[in-house]
Every structure is written in structure tokens, then in C-alpha cells.
Amino acid sequence: MNPDGSLLGAASLVKAYGPTPALDGANFSIHAGEVVAVMGPSGSGKSTLLHCLAGIVRPDAGAVHYNGRELSAMSDAERSALRRGEFGFVFQFGQLVPELTCVENVALPLRLNGVKRREAESRAATWLARLEVDDVAGKRPGEISGGQGQRVAVARSLVTSPRVVFADEPTGALDSLNGERVMQLLTEAARDTQAAVVLVTHEARVAAYSDREVVVRDGKARDMAGVG
């Protein structure tokens, strides 16, 4: 854990793309089992914050600490290992591999970590059942609906038993009914496994599934807990 008891935290993050500042002294923290919604207008820096927290983008200044270690002090290989095992990801459009079946897609992170095929696909099938899409296990992404595909993507994000799940607009491509069910399943599964969820969204109905909200504006992050 970090000194403040958080699992993942960021202090005074600065990140610019050319002359355009995306983050300007942003702070953030999240504890195990907590769901935090990161909100803000388009271009506010919320996706940049997520990418810095996940070790995908290196900040120009400031630090990100995960489980007591600073991400920038890790090697590229160590950060890649984190993203394959201890971090899970859900994106707006799922980003499933079209050539693989759904069960193979969910098993892929395990296979990349050296788990044998039978074991990986068995664990993947368990998660597909939990996300209520075990009936599409043998189908390819192009043969299923958007809502089913996003549930498959959620299963893939959780199959490695990650400690942090990064969800970037996970319902953005779904209708409201499918979006609600995806959020119910994602947050229930994450809380059951004590995974922290960093949830980037611009939708209040999606943020309602979180424990608290952080609003990013002008490159700074403001925790809305107790603000009213």
C-alpha cells in the first residue's frame, strides 16, 4: 500500500502535448474495492489521467504510486507485466480481437502470462458465465451484439484477478439498458474481488455506480466527496 493507505495514487501530475497542457498538477487516489468515477468535459484531461495512472503514458512531472512503488521507477518490462496481470482494461468499443472466439479473447491475458490453454479457457468460461454471456463463448466478436461484446470485454478485464480495473467510457457505445447492465456486472464483480475501478465517464447515470466522483477540469482533479 501507499503511505496514505491507497492502492493507487497520483500527486501533482503534469502532462502536456506540445503547447497544450492536459494535466496541470492533478492529484488522485483510490483504495482497494473502491469505484471512483473520473468526470469532466471533453478535453479536460480525464483520459490522460487514466493513461498516466495505468503507466501507459509517462507524466512530465509528478508521480504515480501503485502498491507502494512509483511507476516511473519501474522498467518498461515491469510496467508491461503490471498491465498484463495486476491491471485490467475496458475500453469504449471493447477492442476484442476479431479473429478469436469470445472465450479465446477472454483467455488471452492469461495466455500472455504463460497459463496453459485449457486452464486459461476454463477460467475464461467461468467469467463469461458470471457476466451472463457464456452462450457466446464459441462465437467471434463480429457475430455478437455490442452489449454482449462489452460484457466479454469486462470478463477479459477481470480474468487475471487484477487489483485495478481501468474503464474508459465503458458504456459509451451502448444503449442505456445495455449500459446499465454492464455497469451492474462490472461493479458487482469488482467489489466481490476487491478490485479498485477507475471509471472515466461523462454520464451521470454511469457515475452513479461509483463510490465517489473526481472531476477533472483545466488539468486539475477535484474530489467531489463532501461537496454539495
Q: Which residues pair with 213 in a beta bridge?
A: 37
> Does the pLDDT value for residue 212 go beyond 70?
yes
pLDDT digits (tens, 9 = 90+) for 99-129: 999 999 999 999 999 999 999 999 999 999 9
What number of other Cβ atoms are within 10 A of residue 93's Cβ? 13
Measured distance CA(147)–CA(181) in Å, rounded: 9
| Cell 508521480 -> residue | 63
Q: What is the pLDDT of residue 225?
A: 65
Cell of 44: 479536460
pLDDT digits (tens, 9 = 90+) for 123-179: 999 999 999 999 999 999 999 999 999 999 999 999 999 999 999 988 888 888 888
Q: What is the pTM of this model?
A: 0.91
Q: Crossing angle for the helix pair 146-158 and 117-130, nearest 10 degrees?
A: 120
Q: Which residues pair with 52 in a beta bridge?
A: none
> Does the pLDDT value for residue 49 go beyond 50?
yes
Contact 44, 216 (CB under 8 A): yes
Measured distance CA(2)–CA(10) in Å, rounded: 10
